[in-house]
Structure 1
């Protein structure tokens, strides 16, 4: 059963929350980042990029200590204020496409992660886990929730809808035209009902935030081992998450762009693909795949459809049926010689919010030789792969909603 608890969030004041909230640090270009910090003294970017104050690039544990200092300064200046009572936070996002996401920000259990009650579908990199664990331990807070998804639950849904009829603590729109709303639930009876409903769930799933979850678990393991009086209620036992029902999760594909054809000519490349796929030339107009195990390909000014030959590939696991895995096993690895999907600089990824014309433009520019488009992964596929204890290839899913940092902060 899933353990979900309320917590005392540290939050910006209503008047400036829209100025504080920021996308993840790495998602900005250098120019974007500097522009926001030049003109917005309240941006959370000032906390996570403390070297800006001294016009210096600061890394490692020295940076982490300065991050903590900037955070404490924001609290001292009244930019951040901590709630008096442990609460759940109903959080709603409406993006520029009109897609709506409704869920609850809460503290979730590191022990549940360890016991596989919170299930994973992506591999993590040990070095990144350890680095972020050190960061968390030094700064003492987490400001961006992990995105979790749970089976649709009518009781939780009714509570969310009823809460949203009341006064919103926050309501603000970001420059990317997504609007955010936050309501607080601090009523003990309602909190108990929500917790009881989550306790009926044998499994919830990580949608986005695998490294943050893994790092929080490492922190929990270290702190537990070093605390002779550990009792399971300490703040390090939990990490902040945004939990939304499965029906509201939106998954886009990641399409692939490849530099070069591994020494093959266009004709040699197509002949090798013919072993596994039925190939049809679709001309110069953008072409999208229509069903699983069906890819679009852009090569030398033309689009092609690739249909998997039924006798050429066997499905034994849920992972085998995943299109990102299928593309890797039948084309990227054996034909194009790309073994390491994370680190090979011949491959780049374009999330499926961009149309196939982006693939065409990238290949026509000459930087890439071929591009592949695929259908999105489904929530059920993601769950089945996690249930079988398997892991997807990198960049198999581009999941919405994308969360902002600094709206709620969980302190350890």
Structure 2
């Protein structure tokens, strides 16, 4: 796994071998798009073969820059045409081809010899003489050399495409294997890590990559990548050329046949991010700053501190998690971070406030840099910048009094950010731990301001039972009372069920509530253990196709709609998990059942981005 181990052996090789390898790697880079490299090589070869008289490199760089192609492969390809190949092959061959096509009249002097004598200083004189004395031969030469340049260029084009595609495939396979090993190793690190001394949070200011024009912030920012499907993301980005979904969900600009996890998606995300920077749509702040991010929902406000947190805090348990992550989802975000060289979405963290929020009071009285209401949900988003060094130092010191933080939302983003740091650190033999890539983007909200919404369940069928049989089975678990109207559960340990157009209040019987741990006492855990598994035969709700989940933001009306339409057979409205339950479970090192929490409002991607370098 240590890719630098074989460098000493390489240095023992002859110099020509080392140089050949260097130029080969630069001409056929494995981390670039194969088609773009191939076109760059074609341009370099074509211009090199064509009589550009000393301007080949300049023209190649200019054309590659114009078409946003990698420049180095083209520049190296220029040297395919050198004095030996030009005067020994390309020029004579091109001249013969041109003569076959144009069929010029005989001349009494050495036409190609004139070309061999040509330089930047005398090219105007020689070309004028050739035009006056042998115009048809000059035309034949230009036609032939153009054909020769195109043929040789396309030969190199196909060769470059094949070589780069093959190298990239092997590189990605090796990189994927490395990532799998990295994930496994980091899991061991997390389990073995123990905090020494007093635990404390560490936060860092950073130079945010953010929208230049505040008026465009609303259209640039986007919901998190994982709250919509591909079709929904494509619809959301329609008419918004700078929507950040073109970075976080870059597959929306590719054919539907391209898988969302295809390497092309990550490469395209990087291209779109680079283009937004090049076009001046987004830019880095000039100095390291902290930021305050306010969200407003239905009159309720929550204020978060936008900062970077060290990957070491994730591995050492300072940043606590309460959910399991899926390997495929984690790898997806890890590859996205590494390929874009950025944390494109923040991790939603919470903490037990100890007066830290009071430090934001003066900040929020200033004029914000962004202040808008997002379309669709009507939620407010406001951002202030903290760029005063003394103010930043005071906030950082205050947060050191907080022992731990908790991942509220974004477990996959957090794992990806931390493991990207591990990956980059291992690539750098001089890593000190202070490099920018050793941190990732987070927003810290005090737990007192947050509200967890219900995360409800809908069942596709009754597992072979009639509604009457289901009610009889449920009476063994619940005390059931009919409800006159649709309503949320009134208390913990109560689940409201919708079946055949009617609502029922279902309270777990007291014998099932004794001697329960922090996880087992959750309503979602009780429902899984006592109802979903034994009655509906659903062992793993994460993989079962017979259950679906509806976030509380959609309201109970969505449950009624899903059942009344015939799409589902019944629905269970859950009492929301509390922040205290979440933090107690994380403190105990336990894992919550899947789909236990739903946070609103969602953080916007693209307002503040952290780049790794």
Q: What is the aligned counterpart of 1:69 among 271, 284, 301?
A: 271
Q: How does 1:355-374 map to 2 (within 5 A)?
A: 355-374=555-574
- Are positions 1:331 and 2:331 aligned together? no
Q: How does 1:227-306 map to 2 (within 5 A)?
A: 227-283=428-484, 285-306=485-506
In the alignment, the residues of structure 1 paired with residue 332 and residue 236 of structure 2 have an alpha-carbon distance, to the nearest angstrom, of 26
Report the counterpart of residue 88 of structure 2 in structure 1: none
CA contact (8 A) 1:256 1:350 kept: yes
Report the counterpart of residue 123 of structure 1 in structure 2: 324
Report the counterpart of residue 352 of structure 1 in structure 2: 552
How many residues are treated as equivalent by the alignment?
A: 409
Q: What is the aligned counterpart of 1:3 among 197, 202, 214?
A: 202
- Considering Cα pairs closer than 8 Å and 6+ residues apart, tell me whether 1 or 2 has the greater RCO: 1
Specify the SS of the correspondent of 2:530: helix
Specify the SS of the correspondent of 2:584: helix
Specify the SS of the correspondent of 2:507: strand
> In terms of mean alpha carbon deviation, does 43-52 or 201-210 score higher?
43-52
Largest Rg, 1 or 2: 2
Deviation at 1:343, TM superposition (A): 1.5
**Residue 277 and residue 385 in structure 1: after superposition, are their counterparts in 2 closer, same or farther (change >3 A)?**
same
Note the alpha carbon deviations across 1:193-241, whole angstroms, 9 max, x for none. Answer: 1111111111111111011001112212222333221211112211101
Q: Which runs of 5+ in 1 are unaligned?
A: none
Deviation at 1:383, TM superposition (A): 0.5
Deviation at 1:51, TM superposition (A): 5.5
In the alignment, the residues of structure 2 paired with residue 158 and residue 280 of structure 1 have an alpha-carbon distance, to the nearest angstrom, of 46
Specify the SS of the correspondent of 1:16: helix
Q: How does 1:28-47 map to 2 (within 5 A)?
A: 28=228, 33-47=233-247
Q: What is the aligned counterpart of 1:94 among 280, 291, 296?
A: 296
Note the alpha carbon deviations across 1:351-403, whole angstroms, 9 max, x for none. Answer: 22333333223212211111111211111000111111111111111112311
Q: What is the aligned counterpart of 1:394 among 588, 594, 604?
A: 594
CA contact (8 A) 1:8 1:83 kept: yes
Note the alpha carbon deviations across 1:43-81, whole angstroms, 9 max, x for none. Answer: 112334545556665442222112111111111111011
CA contact (8 A) 1:101 1:401 kept: no
Specify the SS of the correspondent of 1:4: coil
> In terms of mean alpha carbon deviation, does 326-335 or 230-239 score higher?
230-239
Q: How does 1:138-153 map to 2 (within 5 A)?
A: 138-153=339-354
**Residue 313 and residue 179 in structure 1: after superposition, are their counterparts in 2 closer, same or farther (change >3 A)?**
closer
Deviation at 1:291, TM superposition (A): 1.0
Specify the SS of the correspondent of 2:527: helix
CA contact (8 A) 1:341 1:393 kept: no
Select the structure that is richer in helix. 2
**Residue 183 and residue 322 in structure 1: after superposition, are their counterparts in 2 closer, same or farther (change >3 A)?**
same
In the alignment, the residues of structure 2 paired with residue 66 and residue 384 of structure 1 have an alpha-carbon distance, to the nearest angstrom, of 41
Q: What is the aligned counterpart of 1:223 among 397, 420, 424?
A: 424
**Residue 331 and residue 410 in structure 1: after superposition, are their counterparts in 2 closer, same or farther (change >3 A)?**
same
Specify the SS of the correspondent of 2:443: strand
**Residue 94 and residue 31 in structure 1: after superposition, are their counterparts in 2 closer, same or farther (change >3 A)?**
same
CA contact (8 A) 1:256 1:371 kept: yes
When the two structures are superposed, what TM-score results if normalisation uses the length of structure 2?
A: 0.64
Specify the SS of the correspondent of 2:536: coil
When the two structures are superposed, what TM-score results if normalisation uses the length of structure 1?
A: 0.94
> In terms of mean alpha carbon deviation, does 68-77 or 174-183 score higher?
174-183
In the alignment, the residues of structure 2 paired with residue 105 and residue 36 of structure 1 have an alpha-carbon distance, to the nearest angstrom, of 25
Deviation at 1:175, TM superposition (A): 0.8
Q: What is the aligned counterpart of 2:280 among 70, 78, 81?
A: 78
Specify the SS of the correspondent of 2:463: coil
CA contact (8 A) 1:143 1:407 kept: no
Note the alpha carbon deviations across 1:225-264, whole angstroms, 9 max, x for none. Answer: 3322121111221110111111111100111110111112
Specify the SS of the correspondent of 1:261: coil
CA contact (8 A) 1:61 1:135 kept: no
CA contact (8 A) 1:6 1:88 kept: yes
In the alignment, the residues of structure 2 paired with residue 187 and residue 237 of structure 1 have an alpha-carbon distance, to the nearest angstrom, of 24
Q: What is the aligned counterpart of 1:12 among 211, 222, 230?
A: 211
> In terms of mean alpha carbon deviation, does 318-327 or 134-143 score higher?
134-143
Select the structure that is richer in strand. 1
| RMSD across aligned positions (CA) | 1.9
In the alignment, the residues of structure 2 paired with residue 27 and residue 278 of structure 1 have an alpha-carbon distance, to the nearest angstrom, of 35
**Residue 247 and residue 112 in structure 1: after superposition, are their counterparts in 2 closer, same or farther (change >3 A)?**
same
CA contact (8 A) 1:8 1:85 kept: yes
Specify the SS of the correspondent of 1:100: strand
CA contact (8 A) 1:249 1:401 kept: no
Q: What is the aligned counterpart of 1:132 among 326, 333, 338?
A: 333
In the alignment, the residues of structure 2 paired with residue 17 and residue 57 of structure 1 have an alpha-carbon distance, to the nearest angstrom, of 31
In the alignment, the residues of structure 1 paired with residue 507 and residue 601 of structure 2 have an alpha-carbon distance, to the nearest angstrom, of 31
Deviation at 1:171, TM superposition (A): 1.6
Q: What is the aligned counterpart of 2:512 among 308, 312, 323?
A: 312
> In terms of mean alpha carbon deviation, does 109-118 or 302-311 score higher?
302-311
Deviation at 1:125, TM superposition (A): 0.7
